[in-house]
Amino acid sequence: MTSADQIAAEESKKVAEFIATHPDLEGDVELEDISDVEDRIDFIVPQTDDPSTPVFTVRSITLGTFWCILLSFANTALSFRTNAFAVGANVAIILSYPMGLFWAKALPSGNIINPGPFSLKEHVLIYIMASCSGQPYGIDNVVAQVMPDLMGNVSITFIQAFAFVLVTQFLGYGMSGLTRRFLVKPTAMWWPGIMATVAIMTSFHKVETGEATGNRYTWSRFKVFWIASQPFLQTVSILCVFTGNGRQGDVVPQTGGGIRSNPAGIPTAFNYIAASTTNGVGLLGLTFDWTYVTSTYVTSPLWAVSVFIGGSIFFQWILTPIFFALDIWGINNKMTEDGNYVYFYNASDNYNLNITAYNDVAPVHITGFFALTYATSFLAITASISHVVLWYGKDIYRQTMNAFRQIRDEVDALDKHVKMMEAYPEIPDWAYLGFLAITTVAAVLVSVFTPFNMPWWAIFFNIFLCAIFILPFGVIQAISGFSLGLNVLTEFVIGLMIPGQTVAVMAFKSWGTNNLIQALALSQDLKLGQYLHIPPFAMVFAQFWGTLINAIVSTAACWYMMFNSGELLKDPNWRYNGYQVFYSAGGIWGAIGPQRFFGIGSLYQGLLWCFLVGAIAPAIPWLANKYVAKSSHWHLINFPLFFSLAGAGYNQCTFVVPLLVSWYCQHYLYKNNREFFQKYVYVIGSAFDAGSGLMSLVGSILAVADASYNDYGCEYYLDWVKIPLLLESHVFSTLRGKSLAASWPRSIT
């Protein structure tokens, strides 16, 4: 068996010889990245393929459908929890494995029901169907508009809701297929996020991968996976430990707590702003809960993790406290004033803006952290376009010209996996275009003939936005493992075009955001299929079938939770906060509108400069590479990642430990213990994902069963304190000293 290092060296040699005969490609970053990519995939990716292996079998479809139904219902139901979480498809990978083995052994073989041994390719198809089981983004809009305690629009029927969810789930797939030559075939587009899945698949099934360097470690990856699947502790705030949690009866100024005091002692102002892991900015917060780390930080390159976390530290740990201390937008004193809640929706006018109610409390303030999150979204949007055009523009142009000429791209042809995939028929571009046309017509019909009330032209504008950003956002995710989203841009643009139309803005956000999510999900899965040599027709069918099942089950599950779950949604643990966030965003971007928040003369008009700053920033390292000193490292200064602030509304403990994990795996082990890195690192990451997912599921079952357990932390008594640094709380203060929220409950913390 050839070692992984030898395979990588051979691939690097081929690239070097190709560049020598194509001097115009000297310094091309996509080619320069290939050597590093090969070093990180050849030891885990199969190096051979048997096209005769059964893929599309009764067994794979049955098991995939079963897990898609089960996880779709579970994830949609769990999305109504106050602290929502999802059960990942890795659970289906683990539990479907013994089911597949049992099926192969228990039933007579050699027929359509049991074609023989349970294969890796069947297992991958089961995973693809199960991976479609997340709660669809369109469900947010359905719940926000239909839920009796939110908009309560009783005119929306189950069939209309299902049609909306179905179309929002499928519309992006057509565009994904058209971009596979840019995002799937190139070696440099290696999609780090799927390496944990590749690792678990090749660990469960005997396949020929590149042999790890050395023979010091003899345990199999399969054995290591099961040993590593163990639970972890949760979060620890180091600064909270050192600074304490305040004196009994303390009242903290400028935190929104009014005159309330806590008999157990409220943390100091420093704890509010910096030290807490559940509130404020989480300075130096630690986590031992793998759900906050995930295998993303094991498989993603260290440069990407460093840039992403470095940007978050700059905006969250440095700028946010400065903004709070300087009271940049004059909100601090307002947060101490108890007031009445005002709601801006006019239910009798399709939930559009009630201008009289708004003018009574205008202008609306948002927290500094909230404002910074919008600022970084504006920065990342334009920075992504500039970064990809400057560094990958030549490659995209070359691939586009080759596509028009209907000839094979020479650079992509260097990839051995692309060559092996030539054994399977490719899905032609016209098929993807035809599917895009059909789903577009369906989207227009849904937007016109259902109460979701989005203008017909907005569908085409939605597709236009996705077409612009699918390559920039796709390239960023394919090289780094971190994803960007269009949720802020879609709200911003449509809010300017049709101000005050809440329902239409919410529908446009669902379509625009989910189009890109689904398009890149299919691209990522097609790359997984390329690594594991799955026929494209089988991969696309599995994705489509799983998406259809997910749309049906998830819509039914949300309907059940809204109307048939009894008193469950009155339980404090089931307050559907995620849906209330979406509902609140409808108030900000739909009813109030971006013009009133960010337009000329508004309080936050200065944030619009972020679009220009984001567009210019990537030019700095590009010009430095061109005129100061040529280096293959300049393009790693990735401003779209730097501007990707995670924001608040989450436990703020995702910087220190993830960075240490990434450094240890991607640098220390990679440099100093290559054998361990190649044999076990990706497998351990996937095992930790599986273990944390199973423990989350167990914890949810305990919560539903009302089994009590203690949660220790220095914020134990903060249930009724409003903290100004919470981004997603949507608790606003106005110049008249009145508080208002877009229908959020008072118990936001």
601 contacts: CB under 8 Å, gap ≥ 6: none
Which parts of the chain have pLDDT scores under 50? 232-235, 243, 247-266, 337, 339, 711-749
Cα–Cα distance for residue pair 528/296, rounded to 1 Å: 15
- What string of H, E and C letters represents the secondary structure of 217-245? CCCCHHHHHHHHCCCCCCEEEHHHHHHCC
pLDDT tens digits along 36-69: 888 888 888 998 889 999 998 999 999 999 999 9
pTM of the model: 0.86
pLDDT tens digits along 504-537: 888 898 888 899 999 999 999 999 999 999 999 9
End-to-end CA distance of the chain: 57
Q: What angle do CA 630, 631, 632 make, to 5 degrees?
A: 135
Q: Write down the pLDDT at residue 649.
A: 52
Which residue do the tokens 């608790």 mark? Answer: 731
Q: Write down the pLDDT at residue 693.
A: 72
Q: Write down the pLDDT at residue 547.
A: 96
Torsional sign, CA 561, 566, 569, 571: negative
50 contacts: CB under 8 Å, gap ≥ 6: none
Cα–Cα distance for residue pair 749/333, rounded to 1 Å: 18
Cα–Cα distance for residue pair 408/373, rounded to 1 Å: 42
Of 724, 727, 749, 656, the C-alpha closest to 236 is: 656
Q: Write down the pLDDT at residue 711.
A: 47
Residue 707 zone, left/alpha/beta (φ > 0; ψ -120 to 50; rest): beta
Residue 663: how many CB atoms within 10 A of its CB?
15
Q: Write down the pLDDT at residue 435.
A: 95
Alpha carbon of residue 668 to chain centroid: 27
**Complete DSSP assignment for 233-287:** --EEEHHHHHH-S--TT---TTSS-TT---TT-PPPHHIIIII-SSSTT-TTEEE
Torsional sign, CA 257, 260, 263, 265: positive
Query: For residues 335 and 722, is the Cβ–Cβ distance under 8 A?
Result: yes
- Computed over its alpha carbons, how large is the radius of gyration of the chain? 26
